[in-house]
Every structure is written in C-alpha cells, then in structure tokens.
C-alpha cells in the first residue's frame, strides 16, 4: 500500500494549522496594540499629560521607560524628586498632586467616568 499520499495530506493539514495559528496570533497582537492606542487617544482628549501619566501608572500600562520613571518618582526622597522634576516636570508635578493633594486622584477618575458615561454607546470603549 502506498502511504505517501497520507504523509502529503498530513503535512498539508499541519501546515494549515500552523498558518491559522500564526494568523490568530497576529490578529490578537494587532487588537491589543489597537486597544492600547485607543486608550492613549481617548485619554489625551480628556486628561492632561500629567494626569494621563498617573492614570496609566495606576492601570499598570505605562511600559518601558515610563514604568521605571514612575517607580523612581514614587520612591524618591525630596532632593531626588526635585532633580527628577528638572527633567520630567509634568510627571513629577502630577505625582505630587496624586500623592499630596486631597481629592486630586478622585477628580481624575471622575473625568474618565464622565467621558465613559457620555460615550457609553461606543462599542469600542476600552477604558
């Protein structure tokens, strides 16, 4: 009996499964990136750059350098916080509001909630 056609058919099926898996992974990655881009775009219209920095820090979606910066700011003493402020004035200023100004963080969350309420009809709301 000639089994060569079974090997060919099996190879074809395995190839199709691998191709489908790659396509699914690419679609998922593009969707995730698009969702994060949407958060950035939406929030830039609602929040100041400093508020956006803190909001993304609290959602744990800063990534890369900004994550390291948020850790440095949050753990800095007053002297080093002042030095960080020289290079990153918006981020440090927003952190000071977050850390020391009563009600500041609640107001930021209210801005986002108000936007979400006004745009509740949007199926692409990823916030």
pLDDT tens-digit profile of 23-34? 666 555 555 544
Task: Tell me which DSSP letter residue 119 carries.
Answer: T
Instruction: Say what the pLDDT of residue 46 is.
Output: 85
Place of tokens 């993304």: 56
Please report, for the chain, the start and end positions of each structural domain, with discontinuous segments joined by +. Answer: 36-118
Place of tokens 């509001």: 97
Instruction: Say what the pLDDT of residue 34 is.
Output: 47
Q: Tell me how far apart the alpha carbons of residues 52 and 56 are, in angstroms, rounded to a whole number.
A: 6
In this prediction, the residues of the chain whose per-residue pLDDT falls under 70 are: 1-12, 14-16, 18-42, 122-127
Instruction: Say what the pLDDT of residue 27 is.
Output: 54
Instruction: Say what the pLDDT of residue 49 is.
Output: 92
pTM of the model: 0.62
Q: Within 13 Å of residue 127, how many CA atoms lie on the same side as its CB?
A: 25
CB 105 within 8 A of CB 98: yes
CB 90 within 8 A of CB 49: yes
């Amino acid at each position: 009996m000639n089994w060569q056609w079974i090997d060919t058919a099996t190879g074809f099926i395995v190839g199709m499964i691998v191709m489908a898996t790659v396509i699914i992974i690419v679609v998922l990655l593009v969707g995730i990136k698009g969702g994060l881009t949407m958060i950035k775009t939406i929030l830039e219209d609602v929040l100041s750059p400093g508020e956006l920095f803190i909001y993304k820090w609290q959602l744990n979606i800063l990534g890369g350098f900004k994550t390291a910066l948020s850790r440095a700011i949050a753990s800095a003493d007053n002297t080093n916080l002042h030095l960080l402020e020289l290079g990153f004035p918006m981020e440090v200023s927003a952190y000071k509001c977050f850390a020391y100004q009563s009600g500041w963080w609640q107001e930021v969350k209210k801005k986002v909630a108000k936007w979400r309420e006004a745009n509740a009809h949007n199926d692409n709301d990823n916030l």
